[in-house]
Amino acid sequence: MASTDHHRKRRFVKALRDSPADGRRLTDLFLVERKNLATSSKGQPYLRLLLGDRSGSMDAFVWDDAAACARGFREGDLVRVGFLVRSRNDVPQMHVDSVEALVGEELGEIRWDDFRPGLDAAERDAIWNETRDMLAQVANPSLRGLAMAICDSPGFRSAYLDAAAAKGFHHAYVGGLARHTLAVMRLAGAVAALYPRDVDAEVLLLGAFLHDLGKLEELSPQSGGYTDPGRLLGHILLGARLLRQRAEAVPGFPAELLLHLEHLVLSHHGQKEWGSPVLPQTLEAITLSFLDNLDAKLTGAGEWLGGEEVATGDWSSFWKGLGTALYRAPGSAARNPPATAGAEPSLGDIEQALLAREAAGNSDAEPSPEPGGSPSRSQGDFGF
């Protein structure tokens, strides 16, 4: 088999779900999104995985030599998997007999677009041009200088446009960070125009641009999973650190202005229980926290309602974003989504697949049992 063929994605999860291959053994490449070593009711260890590509994800189980298999790869690895597709309660699952992590030069031959869903290059370019134009029009020379220094720094544009805004809640795809950031910047301009005496429009705009830049270090640019700094520090602290580093490189950047921008980044989640170390304490920080939450919640809810695998009918399944099921109101796009067709997933397909992953995290469904036994759930099983 040629090297290029050996590292080529053949079947997407969506196709496996639609046509499970009639019990034939298959070999293909997937990203390891979740990995959990558990024990069945008979005391036998088994490995439960969530394997994915750009079209979605699927539960997978290793029953033989599970502990040894688990030592061979980590969450976020790209792996070559040998498997059969079987169904339990009409839900397709992979039964895996081999897992091999790709390493070194093998990874250089991978077409990563097959594994991470996202916006196409034209959409990302349009988002970038609008974002940069908005920042270039800032009148305050210190704020404009900081924004341009960040935008023009080596490698920033490609890293920014390739980044996701989250792992699963909202904008969890290539280009998601840039799309979410631009939405918050647009909202900032609209709200500042309504409150011109209360809110500094340019400080708010810079806060909107800066608030999630820590995601560039928090999430892996390849797998989309959390990096070690992301797990240990989180994007809020990483973003504040990045801001200080870039501001200190701008000659004469005012210390008081930097302090305010740092406060916007650190407080943008709005509540300490949501991850911010401090509460918003300026009008600009209060505004930013609400606008960030507005775009995240509306986008997340819309993606959830549009997810084919979440639930059909007037009501969705339980959505963790607000702790409730959501209603598809009469006449809404969520109740009457436009029809899509074609083998390649559209952005709508992608967003539905991402929310189906979150639905798997809400599910209490148990895996198919190994021959002769039934599984018992382990603690911490697929909490998204």
- Cα Rg, the chain, nearest whole Å: 22
Domain 3-113 CATH assignment equals 3.40.710.10: no
Could you tell me if 239 and 213 are in contact, meaning their C-beta atoms sit under 8 angstroms apart?
yes
Closest CA to 153 of 122, 125, 132, 178: 132
93 CB contacts (<8 Å, ≥6 apart)?
58, 59, 60, 61, 85, 86, 87, 367, 368
Closest CA to 289 of 346, 211, 195: 211
Strand 45-53 relative to strand 56-62, pairing: antiparallel
Specify the pLDDT at position 5: 55
272 CB contacts (<8 Å, ≥6 apart)?
278, 279
Could you tell me if 174 and 123 are in contact, meaning their C-beta atoms sit under 8 angstroms apart?
no
The single-letter DSSP state of residue 88 is E
What CATH class has 118-301? mainly alpha
Could you tell me if 36 and 381 are in contact, meaning their C-beta atoms sit under 8 angstroms apart?
yes
314 CA to centre of own chain: 27
Sign (positive or negative) of CA dihedral 292, 256, 154, 107: negative
Strand 91-101 relative to strand 56-62, pairing: parallel
264 CA to centre of own chain: 23
39 CB contacts (<8 Å, ≥6 apart)?
45, 46, 376, 378
**DSSP string spanning 252-280?**
T--HHHHHHHHHHHHHTT-SGGGT-SS--
Do 118-301 and 3-113 fall under one CATH topology?
no
Tens digit of pLDDT per residue, the chain (384 long)? 344 555 678 889 988 888 766 678 899 999 998 899 999 888 889 999 999 888 888 999 999 999 999 999 988 888 999 999 988 877 889 999 999 998 887 877 777 778 877 888 899 999 999 999 999 999 999 999 999 999 999 999 989 998 887 766 667 778 889 999 999 999 999 999 999 999 999 999 999 999 999 999 998 776 677 888 988 999 999 999 999 999 999 999 999 999 999 999 999 999 898 889 999 999 999 999 999 999 999 988 888 887 655 556 788 888 888 889 888 888 777 666 554 433 344 444 554 555 555 444 444 344 544 433 333 333 222 222
Break the chain down into helix, strand, coil percent, rounded to 5.
45, 15, 40
126 CB contacts (<8 Å, ≥6 apart)?
none
Strand 91-101 relative to strand 45-53, pairing: unpaired
Tell me how far apart the alpha carbons of residues 173 and 340 are, in angstroms, rounded to a whole number. Answer: 19
Tell me how far apart the alpha carbons of residues 30 and 2 are, in angstroms, rounded to a whole number. Answer: 19
| Domain boundaries defined on the chain | 3-113, 118-301, 308-361
Sign (positive or negative) of CA dihedral 131, 132, 138, 143: positive
